[in-house]
Amino acid sequence: MNRIPMDKKTEGEGSPLPPVMGLFEHLLEEDNNGEGRYPASALSGDLLLPFSFEEMLCRDVGAGLILPSLHLWTHPGGVALGLRDSKLPGAARTMDKLESRGIRTAVRHSGGAAVPLDAGIVNVSLILPKSRGKQDFHDDFRLLAAIITEAVAVSHPEAATQIVAKEVVGSYCPGDFDLSIGGRKFCGIAQRRQSQAYFVHAFVVVSGSGQERGELIRSFYEDAAAGEHGLSYPQVRPETIAGLGELGGPTTTAAFCSGIREALARRATELIPSGRLERETGYKLEYTDQRVKDTAQMLRERYSQL
């Protein structure tokens, strides 16, 4: 069990952060009732655009065109599959059924298995250049796990002390660095590496029902297996999933994202918003850029069987 202690400084957990980082955000704008809308920059019917955006941002970080960066984003509603998920015998038909319900689907290129995406789930990505010398990729998992724990501690310190990093058996997209409270998972972490840079990515279930999301993924696998036995895929038990708001943590994505920004500030990392970066350096990257759209199409052709 890897419990992340909050009674001492966690700055030493994982790799150190750069002193200055870019900040790119594509988030739901919430109102006082917890409802919200998406600004034009975040709206997208294509589930692959956030992933292709990060692919291009990672390439630019590796080329030295832009600072190491933090990307915070949400999506109105979708299911992102792992490559193995897409090869299940009924996957294509099941994806079509989800699309008919307004739930977008795509096969993502980072590691892991199927996860839901919606307005109550915050995706957190650190995009960093590769350093010279040997580096254990688990250090980056530990780093992001520590930052997420520190973000929870900003507003809900008691909940943060209960966060444990270890695989939650029965959860969707299980892994060694699942983050949970009381045995119920609210976060999973994956990584994607390029030649000169990489990003470590987490989905964080903040608001709403974790069990309902678990049921969505459980039913996906049940349908995608198409009655065949002996197939290898996560055996999801929906009760193992929860939102932070159900676990005594932040209840809105706005509060959680504020905690992420504050956690980096406490680590003495300055975040420079994308608008300021454009004014000061001329660097600009949006979901609507043609190279982001082209990369999304490339990812679709490379990783999807559809």
CA 208 to chain centre: 17
The DSSP bridge pattern shows strands 164-165 and 115-118 to be unpaired
Q: Judge whether 30 and 36 are in contact, CB under 8 Å.
A: yes
Rg (CA), the chain: 18
Q: How confident is the model at residue 170 (pLDDT cuts 50, 70, 90)?
A: very high
Longest dimension (CA), the chain: 58
pLDDT at 30: 55
DSSP E strand boundaries for the chain? 2-3, 20-26, 29-30, 36-37, 69-73, 77-81, 104-107, 115-118, 121-129, 164-165, 179-181, 184-193, 197-205, 270-273
> Would you name the residues annotated as active-site residues?
173
Q: Which residue has the higher pLDDT, 196 or 35?
A: 196
Residues 252-269 have a mean pLDDT of 97
- Long-range Cβ contact pairs of 83-88 (< 8 A, separation 24 or more): 83/107, 83/109, 83/303, 84/113, 84/232, 84/233, 85/113, 85/114, 85/220, 85/221, 85/224, 85/233, 86/303, 86/304, 86/305, 87/305, 88/221, 88/224, 88/225, 88/226, 88/231, 88/233
1 pairs with which residues across the strands? none
47-61, 87-101, 136-150, 255-269: segment of lowest average pLDDT:
136-150
pLDDT at 34: 47
Interacting residues of 282 by C-beta distance below 8 A, sequence separation 6+ = none
Q: Which residue has the higher pLDDT, 164 or 32?
A: 164
pLDDT at 169: 97
Tens-digit pLDDT profile for residues 63-80: 999 999 999 999 989 999
Sign of the C-alpha dihedral, residues 298, 301, 302, 306? positive
Tens-digit pLDDT profile for residues 114-143: 999 999 999 999 999 998 665 666 899 999
pLDDT at 9: 34
- What is the CATH classification number for the domain harbouring 19? 3.30.930.10
Cα–Cα distance, 146 to 15 (Å, whole number) = 10
How many percent of the chain have pLDDT more than 90? 77
Residues 74-92 have a mean pLDDT of 93
41-55, 183-197, 220-234: segment of lowest average pLDDT:
41-55
**Residue 165 sits in which domain range?**
2-303
Q: How confident is the model at residue 148 (pLDDT cuts 50, 70, 90)?
A: very high
pLDDT at 13: 54
Number of domains in the chain: 1
pLDDT at 44: 57
Q: Which residue has the higher pLDDT, 41 or 103?
A: 103
| Summary mean pLDDT of the chain | 89
Tens-digit pLDDT profile for residues 194-234: 989 999 999 999 999 999 999 999 999 999 999 998 899 99
